[in-house]
């Protein structure tokens, strides 16, 4: 499960490791790099997006064998890039390939406003892995006419016709994921996990009939398949070799087999082998076997995520989006932060949860700070900054989980320049000074507590099904809010200072609380168009958490809404009482999850997390107009380029940074287009 948050108002998949400090100087591979002492994190800005670069600290400390492992895993990830595009929308690949052909072959006037708008539209599509906004889920609107596009297609001898052309300009399939109450979420969502005639009821009835061989270890039904109707009957098209997306999956397998040949140890190699078997068969029992092996494989400097993982893009939370992240352990930071996983049981024992909802034994929780070496699919270009996996509750309970913070991604955000928005939305100089001094520390700790303690905490009541079955379309936002609340509850606690993680726990906690409320009630609204409801799971959870504590604390004026010079601010008057309110809400969210209380989660989310105060929203957008920096950020990936010897073997790598976003996107399309336009 992913953790996202704002750093300088820019949004920020997964992994782990353990250590291997046995490298000697002669073992370390030759490295050439384009990195300079004055590294430029910024690439370009277009639309509402800023593109950044990141470095790969620790790359030069790896052996040549370890570098090969990173390279092969990165190539495996990119090999499946097209899967994410097709999962996002059935016409995405057709549209992308046509527009890229125009981009490559157009020889007309490229100084016109129309052409510049065409370039921006294509870049926005690249960034979102499709024609729907990566965060709001709304369809991207081109700022050029259909007549202009037709002329471009004619001039470049490019074919794009029928629905694939028309949908760019009409209102059909306007929302990639529709989480609205009272509609058929599957039928109203453009995401390509279900056939055109499939409904909510079809999905729920189909998977309700599926039974796991061991009820205590429920399989993740629907995780790797598309549910369609053929002659009136429901049928799964499984993602596997020889099945749906088979041509891309075969390429993934080729690279994973190379990676397995240079695995750091047997446990790591065995896990990769199970992932290969899963891709070949599509068998969900093999998927669970892989996750057990992957979770237990904690030795080594390299780790990865690769497959169909997070279910946020499925309106009912069954099917996983393809994503991959390859990472190198950050040795120094991982040592400093290991104290969290070592004390996981203390946090569980001292939480405000009902006793029957606490785990007697929190097992196998590992936490590492890592440096990303490459990302693809749902993790790129927009990337999370922390992840906890696996998602199966029974594996978490019996084997454990891995939690990571993506250190070099966070570093890139922090060094890419600030926007000045902070000064506009803080209530006073004290709040500003706290944020400037403790903000980064508070954000990093919240991410760590969210992933390590939050997602690993609590347990389901005996006999209660998986949350995707009990809480349905509210499962994702409930889980993310619950993990946020764990982090918030412990951020304002002297235990953090006792563990040596902070120098002043109270000020760090105050800073975290200020930032969370400010974001949840105001600043995240810059991402919405006026009149929109909140749709995205993380945005919903930040709003319902903040709005709930604001309302429940009104009698004691815990959080005060202030209007000054026609502008709205929120000021926390009592941090101790706010801490207690976070604890109360955490207790309730865990009860909802543990008991599978659908009515309660529906009431919580719909009451506090969906509707937006239109007056405040209008005000926030107007106040934000003075800032020209983009509200969203994402990344190009460093290019790992192998150097071959006379025998055709890799002898070293260079690490090269792309000069432009379009340069990398076109390179990817040329070298990793492993699916046909229609699947």
Q: Cα–chain-centroid distance for residue 45?
A: 21
Classify the C-alpha dihedral 651-81-249-670 as positive or negative: negative
Nearest-10 Cα torsion for 469, 187, 192, 471:
-20
For residues 171 and 173, what is the distance between their CA atoms, to the nearest angstrom?
6
Establish whether the linkage from the previous residue to 390 is cis, with ω within 30° of 0: yes
3-state secondary structure 160-171: CCCHHHHCCCCC
Q: Which helix (H) or strand (E) holds 365?
A: strand 365-377
pTM of the model: 0.84
For residues 384 and 1, what is the distance between their CA atoms, to the nearest angstrom?
10
DSSP code of residue 628: -
pLDDT at residue 418, as a whole number: 59
For residues 278 and 303, what is the distance between their CA atoms, to the nearest angstrom?
18
* Cβ-Cβ contacts under 8 Å for 205 (sequence gap 6 or more): none
For residues 470 and 599, what is the distance between their CA atoms, to the nearest angstrom?
10
Beta strand 6-7 with 386-389 is unpaired
Give, in order, the Cα–Cα distances in Å from 607 to each of 285, 548, 600. 39, 9, 10
Residue 392 has pLDDT above 90, yes or no: yes
pLDDT at residue 35, as a whole number: 38
DSSP code of residue 564: E
Residue 421 has pLDDT above 90, yes or no: no
Contact 514, 574 (CB under 8 A): no
Residue 34 has pLDDT above 60, yes or no: no
Q: What is the mean pLDDT of residues 582-593?
A: 98
pLDDT at residue 244, as a whole number: 98
Neighbours of 116 (CB within 10 A): 14
3-state secondary structure 6-61: EECCEECCCCCCCCCCCCCHHHECEEEECCCCCCCCEEEEECCEEEECCCCCCHHH
- For 613-637, b where at least 16 C-beta lie within 10 A, e where not — what string? eeeebebbeebbeeeebbbbbbbbb
Task: Mark out the alpha helices in 129-180 (DSSP H runs).
Answer: 146-155, 163-166
Mean model confidence pLDDT for the chain: 92
pLDDT at residue 17, as a whole number: 27
DSSP β-bridge partners for residue 225: 238
Q: What is the mean pLDDT of residues 227-242?
A: 97
Task: Please report which confidence band the pLDDT of residue 14 belongs to, taking 50, 70 and 90 as the band edges.
Answer: very low
Task: Please report which confidence band the pLDDT of residue 419 belongs to, taking 50, 70 and 90 as the band edges.
Answer: low
pLDDT at residue 13, as a whole number: 29
pLDDT for 441-453, tens place per residue? 999 899 889 988 9
Question: Coil, strand or helix: which one is 558?
Answer: coil
Contact 33, 655 (CB under 8 A): yes
Percent of the chain with pLDDT strictly greater than 90: 84
Establish whether the linkage from the previous residue to 381 is cis, with ω within 30° of 0: yes
DSSP β-bridge partners for residue 230: 233
For the chain, the helix, strand and coil percentages under 3-state DSSP, each to the nearest 5: 45, 15, 35
Residue 299 has pLDDT above 60, yes or no: yes
Q: Which residue has the higher pLDDT, 631 or 302?
A: 302
Task: Report DSSP letters for 288-328, one per residue.
Answer: HHHHHHHHH---SSEEEEEEE---TTSTTS-SPPEEEEEEE
Residue 10 has pLDDT above 50, yes or no: no
Q: What is the mean pLDDT of residues 26-50?
A: 65
322-329 β-sheet, strand order: 2-3, 386-389, 401-406, 365-377, 322-329, 302-308
Report the chain's C-alpha Rg in angstroms: 24
* Cβ-Cβ contacts under 8 Å for 355 (sequence gap 6 or more): none
pLDDT at residue 8, as a whole number: 36
Give, in order, the Cα–Cα distances in Å from 66 to each of 391, 406, 429. 28, 19, 49
Residues in the chain: 679
pLDDT at residue 2, as a whole number: 61
pLDDT at residue 5, as a whole number: 40
Task: Please report which confidence band the pLDDT of residue 221 belongs to, taking 50, 70 and 90 as the band edges.
Answer: very high
Angle, helices 92-105 vs 81-88, to 10°: value is 120
Task: Please report which confidence band the pLDDT of residue 30 belongs to, taking 50, 70 and 90 as the band edges.
Answer: very low
DSSP code of residue 145: -
Residue 416 has pLDDT above 90, yes or no: no
Percent of the chain with pLDDT strictly greater than 70: 94
Which of 567, 387, 358, 377 lies closest to 457, judged by CA? Answer: 358
Residue 507 has pLDDT above 50, yes or no: yes
Question: Coil, strand or helix: which one is 391?
Answer: coil
DSSP β-bridge partners for residue 568: 563
pLDDT at residue 365, as a whole number: 80
Q: What are phi and psi of 635, to 5 degrees?
A: -135, 150
pLDDT for 329-363, tens place per residue? 987 777 877 899 899 999 999 999 999 999 999 88
Residue 216: exposure state from Cβ atoms within 10 A (0-12, 13-18, ≥19):
exposed
Angle, helices 92-105 vs 661-671, to 10°: value is 120
Q: Return the structure tokens found at 606.
A: 């719909």
Q: What is the mean pLDDT of residues 489-498?
A: 97
Task: Mark out the alpha helices in 113-239 (DSSP H runs).
Answer: 113-128, 146-155, 163-166, 200-208
DSSP β-bridge partners for residue 632: 49
Residue 6 has pLDDT above 80, yes or no: no
Task: Please report which confidence band the pLDDT of residue 223 belongs to, taking 50, 70 and 90 as the band edges.
Answer: very high
pLDDT at residue 521, as a whole number: 97
Task: Please report which confidence band the pLDDT of residue 125 belongs to, taking 50, 70 and 90 as the band edges.
Answer: very high
């Amino acid at each position: 499960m992913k953790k996202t948050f704002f750093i300088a108002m820019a949004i920020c998949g997964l992994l782990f490791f353990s250590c291997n400090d046995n490298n000697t100087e002669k073992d370390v591979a030759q490295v050439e790099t384009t990195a300079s002492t004055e590294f430029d994190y910024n690439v370009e800005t277009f639309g509402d997006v800023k593109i950044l670069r990141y470095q790969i600290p620790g790359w030069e400390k790896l052996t040549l064998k370890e570098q090969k492992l990173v390279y092969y895993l990165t190539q495996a990830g990119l090999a499946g890039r097209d899967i994410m595009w097709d999962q996002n929308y059935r016409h995405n690949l057709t549209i992308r390939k046509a527009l890229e052909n125009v981009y490559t072959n157009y020889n007309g006037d490229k100084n016109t406003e129309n052409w510049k708008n065409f370039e921006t539209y294509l870049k926005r599509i690249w960034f979102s892995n499709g024609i729907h906004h990566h965060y709001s889920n709304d369809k991207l609107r081109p700022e050029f006419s259909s007549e202009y596009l037709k002329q471009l297609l004619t001039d470049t001898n490019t074919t794009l016709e029928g629905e694939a052309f028309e949908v760019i300009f009409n209102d059909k399939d306007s929302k990639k994921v529709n989480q609205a109450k009272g509609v058929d979420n599957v039928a109203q969502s453009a995401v390509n996990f279900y056939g055109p005639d499939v409904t909510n009821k079809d999905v729920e009835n189909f998977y309700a009939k599926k039974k796991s061989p061991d009820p205590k270890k429920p399989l993740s039904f629907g995780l790797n398949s598309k549910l369609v109707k053929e002659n009136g009957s429901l049928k799964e098209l499984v993602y596997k070799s020889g099945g749906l997306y088979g041509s891309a999956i075969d390429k993934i397998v080729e690279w994973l087999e190379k990676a397995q040949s240079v695995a750091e140890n047997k446990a790591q190699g065995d896990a990769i082998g199970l992932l290969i078997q899963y891709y070949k068969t599509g068998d969900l029992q093999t998927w669970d076997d892989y996750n057990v092996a992957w979770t237990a494989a904690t030795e080594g400097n390299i780790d990865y995520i690769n497959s169909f993982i997070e279910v946020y893009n499925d309106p009912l939370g069954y099917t996983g989006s393809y994503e991959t992240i390859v990472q190198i352990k950050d040795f120094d930071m991982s040592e400093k932060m290991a104290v969290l996983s070592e004390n996981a049981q203390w946090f569980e024992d001292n939480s405000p949860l009902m006793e029957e909802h606490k785990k007697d034994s929190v097992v196998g929780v590992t936490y590492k700070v890592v440096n990303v070496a490459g990302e693809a699919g749902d993790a790129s270009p927009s990337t999370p900054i922390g992840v906890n996996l696996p998602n199966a509750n029974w594996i978490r309970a019996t084997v454990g989980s891995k939690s990571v913070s993506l250190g070099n991604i966070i570093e890139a955000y922090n060094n890419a320049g600030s926007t000045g928005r902070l000064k506009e939305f803080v209530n006073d100089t004290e709040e500003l000074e706290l944020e400037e001094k403790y903000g980064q520390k508070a954000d990093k700790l919240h991410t760590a507590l969210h992933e390590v303690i939050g997602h690993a905490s609590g347990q389901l009541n005996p006999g209660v099904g998986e949350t995707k079955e009990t809480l349905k379309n509210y499962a994702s936002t409930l889980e993310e809010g619950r993990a946020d609340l764990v982090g918030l509850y412990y951020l304002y606690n002297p235990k953090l200072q006792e563990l040596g993680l902070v120098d002043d726990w109270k000020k760090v906690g105050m800073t975290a609380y200020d930032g969370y409320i400010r974001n949840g009630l105001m600043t995240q609204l810059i991402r919405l168009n006026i009149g929109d409801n909140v749709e995205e799971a993380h945005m919903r959870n930040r709003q319902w958490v903040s709005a709930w504590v604001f309302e429940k604390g009104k009698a004691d004026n815990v959080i005060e809404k202030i209007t000054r010079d026609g502008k709205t601010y929120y000021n926390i008057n009592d941090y101790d009482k706010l801490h207690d309110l976070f604890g109360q809400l955490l207790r309730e969210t865990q009860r909802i999850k543990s008991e599978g209380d659908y009515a309660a989660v529906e009431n919580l989310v719909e009451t506090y997390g969906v509707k937006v105060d239109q007056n405040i929203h209008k005000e926030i957008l107007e106040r934000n107009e003075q800032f020209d920096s983009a509200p969203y950020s994402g990344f190009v990936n460093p290019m790992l380029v192998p150097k071959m010897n006379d025998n055709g073997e890799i002898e070293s790598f260079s690490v090269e940074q792309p000069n432009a976003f379009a340069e990398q996107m076109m390179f990817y399309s040329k070298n990793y287009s492993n699916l046909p336009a229609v699947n």
